[in-house]
Amino acid sequence: MAFPNVRLASRPLHFIYVCDCSGSMEAQGKIESLNQAIRQSLPGMAAVARDNPEARVLVRALRFADRAAWHIPTPTPVEDLEWVDLQAGGVTAMGEALELLAAELRSPPMEQRALPPVLVLISDGQPTDDFEAGLAALMAEPWARRAVRLAIAMGHDADGEVLQRFIGSDPARGSAGGALPPGEVPGASGEMPRHGPGRSPRRPLQAANATTLARYIQWASTAVVGAASSSASRLADAAASQEAVPLPDLPPTELDPLDEPDPLKW
Amino acid sequence: MNPTPSSGEPAMLRRWLVAGVCSRRGSAHRRRGQPCQDASLQRAFTLPGGLPLTLLAVADGHGGQAYHHSDVGSALACEVAAEVVAAALARLPVGTAPPAGADLMALRRWLAEDLPIALQQRWLTAVRQHWLAGSGGGEGGVPFSPVPYGSTLGLLLLTPRWWALTGLGDWDLVRVDPAGAAELLSQEVAAPGAGEATASLCQEGAAQGGWFRSRVWPLEDQVLPFSLVLCTDGIRKSCASDADFLALAAWLAAGPDPGAAHPGAPHPDTAHPAIGGSDTGEGGVGVDAFLAEGLDRISAEGCGDDVSVAIGRWQAGAAAVPPSDSSAATVPAPDPRPHLQEPPLAAVPLLLTGGLALLIGLALGQRLPLASAPAPAASPPRPGLPPAGREPLRREVGRLCGDPALLVPSLHTRHSQVQGLRRGTLRPETLLIDSARDPLGALIAASFLEHRREAGRLNGLQDEMFSFGLCPALRSALGSLWLPATPPAIHPAMAPTSNRPSP
- Same domain, yes or no: B292 and B415: no
Verify whether the Cβ–Cβ distance B63 to A232 is below 8 Å. yes
- Residue B15 to chain A, least CA–CA distance (Å): 23
- Residue A88 to chain B, least CA–CA distance (Å): 35
CA B74 to chain centre: 21
Work out the angle at residue A139's Cα, subtended by the Cα atoms of residues A137 and A141, and round it to the nearest 5 degrees. 85
Sheet holding B52-60, edge to edge: B38-46, B52-60, B153-158, B162-168, B215-218
Chain A (171-230) residues lying within 8 Å, Cβ to Cβ, of chain B: 230
- Same domain, yes or no: B309 and B357: no
Instruction: Determine the Cα–Cα distance for residues A87 and A229; give it in Å rounded to an integer.
Output: 31
Q: Is residue B336 one of the residues assigned to a domain?
A: no
What does DSSP say about strands B197-198 and A234-235: parallel, antiparallel, or unpaired? Answer: parallel
CA distances from A250 to A51, A120, A204, B66, B410 (A): 20, 14, 12, 19, 51
Question: Taking 80 as the threshold, does the pLDDT of residue B156 lie above it?
Answer: yes
Q: Is residue B84 one of the residues assigned to a domain?
A: yes
Beta bridge partners of A13: A57
Q: Which residue has the higher pLDDT, B38 or A254?
A: B38
Give the per-residue SS3 of B112-136.
Answer: HHHHHHHHHHHHHHHHHHHHHHHHC
Q: Count CB neighbours of B466 within 10 A.
A: 12
Q: Is A247 on the interface with B (CB under 8 A)?
A: no
Q: Is A54 on the interface with B (CB under 8 A)?
A: yes
- Residue B276 to chain A, least CA–CA distance (Å): 22
Of A7, A145, A246, the CB nearest to B64: A246
Q: Is residue B334 one of the residues assigned to a domain?
A: no
Nearest residue to B394 via CA among B439, B438, B454: B439
Distant-in-sequence, close-in-space partners of B358: CB < 8 Å, separation ≥ 6: B367, B368, B370, B373, B374, B375, B382
Instruction: Determine the Cα–Cα distance for residues B196 and B6; give it in Å rounded to an integer.
Output: 39
Cβ-contact B307, B23 below 8 angstroms: yes
- Same domain, yes or no: B460 and B364: yes
Q: Is residue B4 one of the residues assigned to a domain?
A: no
CA distances from A128 to A149, A200, B217, B368 (A): 21, 27, 61, 73
Verify whether the Cβ–Cβ distance A7 to B244 is below 8 Å. yes
A177-181, B220-224, B310-314, B407-411: range with lowest mean pLDDT: A177-181
Q: Which residue has the higher pLDDT, B11 or B104?
A: B104
Verify whether the Cβ–Cβ distance B198 to A233 is below 8 Å. yes
Instruction: Determine the Cα–Cα distance for residues B203 and A256; give it in Å rounded to an integer.
Output: 39
At residue B387, the pLDDT reads 53
Work out the angle at residue B172's Cα, subtended by the Cα atoms of residues B411 and B67, and round it to the nearest 5 degrees. 130
Cβ-contact B386, B357 below 8 angstroms: no
Report cis status (omega within 30 of 0) of the bond before A109.
Answer: yes
- Same domain, yes or no: B91 and B238: yes
Instruction: Determine the Cα–Cα distance for residues B125 and B129; give it in Å rounded to an integer.
Output: 6
So what's the ipTM on this one? 0.75
Report, as an integer, the average pLDDT of B53-58.
97
- Same domain, yes or no: B76 and B219: yes
Nearest residue to B84 via CA among B61, B63, B53, B62: B53
- Same domain, yes or no: B349 and B292: no
Instruction: Determine the Cα–Cα distance for residues B334 and B328; give it in Å rounded to an integer.
Output: 14
At residue B465, the pLDDT reads 56
- Same domain, yes or no: B410 and B279: no
Identify the band that residue B423 occupies on the pLDDT scale cut at 50, 70 and 90: confident
Distant-in-sequence, close-in-space partners of B89: CB < 8 Å, separation ≥ 6: B45, B46, B47, B48, B53
Report, as an integer, the average pLDDT of B259-267.
46
- Same domain, yes or no: B46 and B161: yes
Question: Taking 80 as the threshold, does the pLDDT of residue B69 lie above it?
Answer: yes
Q: Which residues of A touch B298 (CB under 8 A)?
A: 8
Verify whether the Cβ–Cβ distance B194 to A231 is below 8 Å. no
Mean pLDDT in order along chain A per 10 residues (266 residues)? 90 97 94 96 96 94 98 96 96 97 93 91 95 96 92 92 88 42 37 51 90 94 90 61 70 54 50
Of A4, A8, A234, the CB nearest to B301: A8
Domain count, chain B: 2
At residue A249, the pLDDT reads 80
Verify whether the Cβ–Cβ distance B298 to A8 is below 8 Å. yes
At residue B350, the pLDDT reads 29
Verify whether the Cβ–Cβ distance A11 to B191 is below 8 Å. no
Identify the band that residue B257 occupies on the pLDDT scale cut at 50, 70 and 90: low
Verify whether the Cβ–Cβ distance A4 to B192 is below 8 Å. no
At residue A165, the pLDDT reads 95
B62-71, B81-90, B213-222, B331-340: range with lowest mean pLDDT: B331-340
Distant-in-sequence, close-in-space partners of B157: CB < 8 Å, separation ≥ 6: B53, B54, B55, B85, B163, B164, B165, B166
Q: Is residue B385 one of the residues assigned to a domain?
A: yes
Give the per-residue SS3 of B131-174.
Answer: HHHHHCCCCCCCCCCCHHHCECEEEEEECCCEEEEEEECCCEEE
Cβ-contact B74, B37 below 8 angstroms: yes
Identify the band that residue B383 occupies on the pLDDT scale cut at 50, 70 and 90: very low
At residue A104, the pLDDT reads 96
Q: Is residue B502 one of the residues assigned to a domain?
A: no
Report, as an integer, the average pLDDT of B202-223.
90
- Same domain, yes or no: B288 and B371: no
- Same domain, yes or no: B45 and B88: yes
Report, as an integer, the average pLDDT of B289-299.
95
At residue A259, the pLDDT reads 40
Q: Is residue B394 one of the residues assigned to a domain?
A: yes
Domains of chain A with bracketed CATH: 11-172+186-198+209-232 (3.40.50.410)
- Residue B301 to chain A, least CA–CA distance (Å): 6
At residue A230, the pLDDT reads 78
Q: Is A149 on the interface with B (CB under 8 A)?
A: no
- Same domain, yes or no: B101 and B244: yes
At residue B406, the pLDDT reads 73
Domain that holds residue B152: 16-133+147-314
Report, as an integer, the average pLDDT of B216-241.
93
CATH number assigned to the domain comprising residue B286: 3.60.40.10
Mean pLDDT score of chain B? 73
At residue B399, the pLDDT reads 78
Q: Which residues of A touch B289 (CB under 8 A)?
A: none
Verify whether the Cβ–Cβ distance A232 to B196 is below 8 Å. yes
Q: Is residue B340 one of the residues assigned to a domain?
A: no
Work out the angle at residue B124's Cα, subtended by the Cα atoms of residues B118 and B129, and round it to the nearest 5 degrees. 125
- Same domain, yes or no: B299 and B365: no
Question: Taking 60 as the threshold, does the pLDDT of residue B499 lie above it?
Answer: no
Among B314, B336, B368, the domain boundary falls at: B314
Model-wide pTM > 0.80: no
Question: Taking 50 as the threshold, does the pLDDT of residue B338 lie above it?
Answer: no
